[in-house]
Amino acid sequence: MSQRNGGRVFGMALLTAQDNPPLAAKPRGLRPVNFALTLPALLLLVVFFILPVLSLLLRSVLEPAPGLGNYAALLGSTTYLKIFLNTFVVSALVTAVTLAIGFPVAWALAIMPSRLSSIVFAILLLSMWTNLLTRTYAWMVLLQRTGVINKALMGMGLISEPLPLVNNLTGVTIGMTYIMLPFIILPLYGVIRKIDPAILQAAALCGATRWQALTRVLIPLATPGMVSGALMVFVMSLGYFVTPSLLGGTANMMLAELIAQFVQSLVNWGMGGAAALVLLVVTLTLYAIQLKLFGTARMEGR
Amino acid sequence: MKNRLIIAAIAATLSVSTQVRAEDMVFTSWGGTTQDVQKAAWADKFTETSGVTVLQDGPTDYGKIKAMVEAAGVTWDVVDVEGDYAVQAGEAGLLEKLDFAIIDKSKLDPRFVTDYSVGSFYYSFVIGCNKDAVSACPKSWADVFDTAKFPGKRAFYKWSAPGVVEAALLADGVAPDKLYPLDLDRAFRKLDTIKADIIWWTGGAQSQQLLASAEAPFGSFWNGRLTALAATGVTVETSWDQNITAADALVVPKGAKNKDAAMKFIALATSAQAQADMAKGTGYAPVNLDSPKLMDPEVAKTLPDQQTAGQVNADMNYWAENRDAIGERWYAWQAK
Amino acid sequence: MLLNFDRLGGWKWVLLGITAMTSAFLILPIFFIAALSFGSSQWLIFPPPGWTLKWYAMFFADPRWLEAAGTSFYIAAIVTVLSVLIGLVTSFGLVRGRFIGKEGLRALFLTPMILPVVVLAVALYAFFLRVGLNGTVTGFVIAHLVVALPFSILSITNALEGFDKSIEDAAVLCGASPLEAKIRVTLPSISHGLFSAAVFSFLTSWDEVVLAIFMASPTLQTLPVKIWATLRQDLTPVIAAASTLLIVVTIALMLLVALLRKGLKS
């Protein structure tokens, strides 16, 4: 078939496909195949994740004595509840900050001339490439009262006393944002790249101001990418422990550090399992709620 | 054909398990230069005399010990652990009873000997101070808790372990022989007075970094760390007043595969010369009472066992029994 | 108009400004680490009192560093390939499939990301002890795969959902087999999702420390475990030297790839 003919046939096929609902093009018998596609991952998870972890979590109701004693201790103690709350608050904060910074950067990356965007990409990937512990330690030293940032600010005369930038919520937020930014930028970049510029041109032609085009067209179109990235960052932050333990203060202890204490230092697997299970249940509940609210938007991708 | 070769190669690589041979034994410690010295002073000497290869593993992890003992798949033969954990783990049935027919305990510091463990080395929490960063250095725990006379940040060990609670009680005026049972309420009240000025360190290296950079120009430190710090050129002033001792211990997990070799290893590690070598390399104190005689007097002077005036011994048994209870209150207080 | 760089007007500078500041933010610690790796003080004090190459010498003198780095890289590479492949297949199932419990399955695939790794580490360690997988590359790969897969699935499903399926169907109508249509039409279109999946999977394995502590044995150690133990015990700029070396090697590779691409284009 010559190129031109093939093009015309493809175009007609495209029109046909778009007019007919996709299911009509697929014979009925193929539907179970899609479930089968998830089997390898499912098997891997069941054997190497669900079963082993379940037996550990079971200990939360069996150790030190059968019953819900661990859960009573956990949910009845203000300390633990405070740590739970703090974990979710910090994760939400980090997610919000990374989204706020990541969206403009992803947008810029999607439309910048490729020479500039290659450099920014290189920087992005390089920052991820350095070992996590090393990066966190670097921030610890940078943010100290006697660290470079405070010294520079004082040298420039902007402040007279060093700012407390580490061992508190500020330090944790800065450190975790640093680590999480690429996880928002990369997926968002992909989604924005795929948006047809013609849609925004049409919006402009219809008389939308740039601000309206942003809020009514671009952001809704990018929402699937934002939700996906935000979900990744939020969930990762919940289970994170290295960065918060080095950059945070004791008043903002996160759940993962507590669980590590239980499992590795106090060797109280009953409590450790209980805390982990509560975290799982709360997070999955939040996920289910999020699905109800944003689920349809994501499915259509429009 | 090429694809099949590649798949076969990958399968072969993946199935090669790097397992330990039966004649090797495994010594586990916390890593870093301390373990390097333990390797040189103990493991290498052991291999020389007995021919048994000693593999190094680490870092010590109590969760791992519990898991391997329960699964009866113990891969560690001798483990360096914290003193109070050794007591608790022994009572919980996680450790082998030590064979004192092989290990000579007559020369060992009795403070650190139990049925299941012997001391690995011991150290003291002392008051360290970066002389260049402050006008005056605190000399006693009461000084460290005095923010009026000694303003600024001070460093303390973050984890629930013997040391900080005792320091707070001593600073509040409790006599050393009346420390136990620990009055936690009183200790936390005292700590509350300086809580905003405390910077917590989680590891030895971090404590040295804090002092060197003057982020926390003074505080409570492990003595060995201060010695090492001074050696790198930082002007450190150490006060041994009311130093609080604590120790690491050597244990054998229950069901260890090379029990015999493990006992012999511990016998060597706690012998006078081996302890002296370890002390020289790390700045920590030997648990063998004959070791100081074998050491250079200049070096011996810097060790906790020579600083007994006013020395306070943390009660490992008390800590072992109340580890969980104290831990809970400690973390609750920190999270406030 | 918003997606046209030249027609953005004043907003262009706002976007560029934010990007520039973010880039500076991202690269600041890396410069700092590089600077410290040449400092003569053992402590992380800036500016350092003097300059030296001794940390690099120490790094090369100890074969365990390079060994650990090599092991990390090897494991991460295997994990990446497996993660992207399994993630791709699973994503097709999740996005295209219509079966009961689909959303539940999706949530299930997310759970390894939610659960603090230490719980999985202890559980898997105990399990592997019974089947003899501890201290083996296979054990490591499986453990890392479990935590890397959610990233892969999330990234690829995200990309697949944004893909207009009618194009793939059109290709089928044109005569391509369903598989061919997927490979030649869909895959290139979701390549950014595959790239993200690969990057995240690789980095998850490369940086992973808790599982590695449990899966390691005296003869098999990954780089993060070595750094973890070293950082807690002795702070030496050797770690800074190791990180800087890695960055330099990566930059060299990136430049090489860019040059090759230019060569191919012309």
Amino acid A3: pLDDT: 44
Amino acid B263: pLDDT: 94
With CB atoms and an 8 Å threshold, state whether A261 touches B63: no
Q: What percent of chain A has pLDDT over 70?
A: 86
Q: Which of residues 139-158 of A touch C (CB under 8 A)?
A: 139, 141-142, 147-148
How many beta-carbon pairs below 8 A join chains A and B?
A: 52
- Alpha carbon A188 to chain centroid distance? 11
With CB atoms and an 8 Å threshold, state whether A245 touches B214: no
Tell me the mean pLDDT in the region A199-224.
81
With CB atoms and an 8 Å threshold, state whether B17 touches C230: no
Q: What percent of chain A has pLDDT over 90?
A: 15
Per-chain mean pLDDT for chain C: 85
Amino acid B21: pLDDT: 55
With CB atoms and an 8 Å threshold, state whether B202 touches A245: yes
Cα–Cα distance, B127 to B238 (Å, whole number): 6
Amino acid B9: pLDDT: 54
- Domain for residue C247, yes or no? yes
Residue B214: list chain C partners with CB under 8 A. Answer: none
With CB atoms and an 8 Å threshold, state whether B75 touches C135: yes
Domains of chain B with CATH codes:
2-122+247-306 (3.40.190.10), 123-245+309-335 (3.40.190.10)
- Between helix C137-161 and helix C191-207 the angle, nearest 10°, is 150
Per-chain mean pLDDT for chain A: 81
Amino acid A198: pLDDT: 83
- Domain for residue C104, yes or no? yes
CA distances, B276 to each of B262, B273, B282, B294, C4 (Å):
20, 5, 10, 7, 73
Element (H, E) at B192: helix B184-192
CA distances, B49 to each of B42, B45, B225, B261 (Å):
11, 6, 31, 12
Q: Are C197 and B5 in contact (CB under 8 A)?
A: no
With 50 as the cut, is the pLDDT of residue A30 above it?
Answer: no
Shortest Cα–Cα distance, C229 to chain B (Å): 5
Shortest Cα–Cα distance, A289 to chain C (Å): 12
- Domain for residue C239, yes or no? yes
Tell me the mean pLDDT in the region A63-81.
83
Shortest Cα–Cα distance, A156 to chain C (Å): 16
Residue C137 contacts B, CB cutoff 8 Å:
yes
Of residues B15, A187, B166, A76, the one with CA closest to residue C195: A187
Neighbours of B187 (CB within 10 A): 25
Tell me the mean pLDDT in the region C116-144.
88
Amino acid B5: pLDDT: 59
Q: Which of residues 41-100 of A touch C (CB under 8 A)?
A: 41-42, 44-45, 48-49, 51-53, 55-57
Cα–Cα distance, C146 to C155 (Å, whole number): 15
B221 beta partners:
B126
The CATH classification number of A69-300 equals 1.10.3720.10
Identify the closest residue of chain B to C136 by CA–CA distance.
Answer: B17
- Domain for residue C55, yes or no? no
Tell me the mean pLDDT in the region A50-71.
84
**Burial (CB count within 10 angstroms: exposed 0-12, middle 13-18, buried 19+), residue C94:** buried
The DSSP letter of residue A169 is: H
Q: How confident is the model at residue A174 (pLDDT cuts 50, 70, 90)?
A: very high
Amino acid C175: pLDDT: 84
Domains in chain A: boundaries: 69-300
**Burial (CB count within 10 angstroms: exposed 0-12, middle 13-18, buried 19+), residue C33:** buried
Q: CB-based contacts of C57: which residues, under 8 Å, 6+ apart?
A: none
Q: How confident is the model at residue A98 (pLDDT cuts 50, 70, 90)?
A: very high
Token readout for C109 is 């695939």
pLDDT digits (tens, 9 = 90+) for C56-75: 898 888 888 888 888 999 99
Residue A272: list chain C partners with CB under 8 A. Answer: 118-119
With CB atoms and an 8 Å threshold, state whether C218 touches B212: no
Residue B9: list chain C partners with CB under 8 A. Answer: none
* pLDDT, one tens digit for every residue, chain B (336 residues): 556 656 555 555 554 444 455 578 999 998 877 888 899 999 999 999 999 999 998 788 898 899 899 888 899 999 999 988 899 899 889 999 999 999 888 889 888 899 999 999 988 899 999 988 888 899 989 998 988 888 888 999 988 888 888 999 998 888 888 888 888 999 999 999 988 888 888 878 888 888 888 888 999 998 888 888 888 888 899 888 888 888 899 999 999 999 999 999 999 999 999 999 998 888 888 999 888 888 888 777 778 777 777 788 888 888 888 887 888 788 888 877
Residue C240 contacts B, CB cutoff 8 Å:
no
The structural domain count of chain C equals 1
With 90 as the cut, is the pLDDT of residue C150 above it?
Answer: yes
Element (H, E) at A16: helix A3-19
Range of the structural domain that residue C86 is part of? 63-265
Amino acid B10: pLDDT: 57
pTM: 0.82
pLDDT digits (tens, 9 = 90+) for C16-70: 999 999 999 999 988 888 888 888 877 777 777 788 888 889 888 888 888 888 8
With CB atoms and an 8 Å threshold, state whether B20 touches C219: yes
pLDDT digits (tens, 9 = 90+) for A248-276: 877 778 888 888 888 887 778 888 888 88
- Domain for residue C116, yes or no? yes
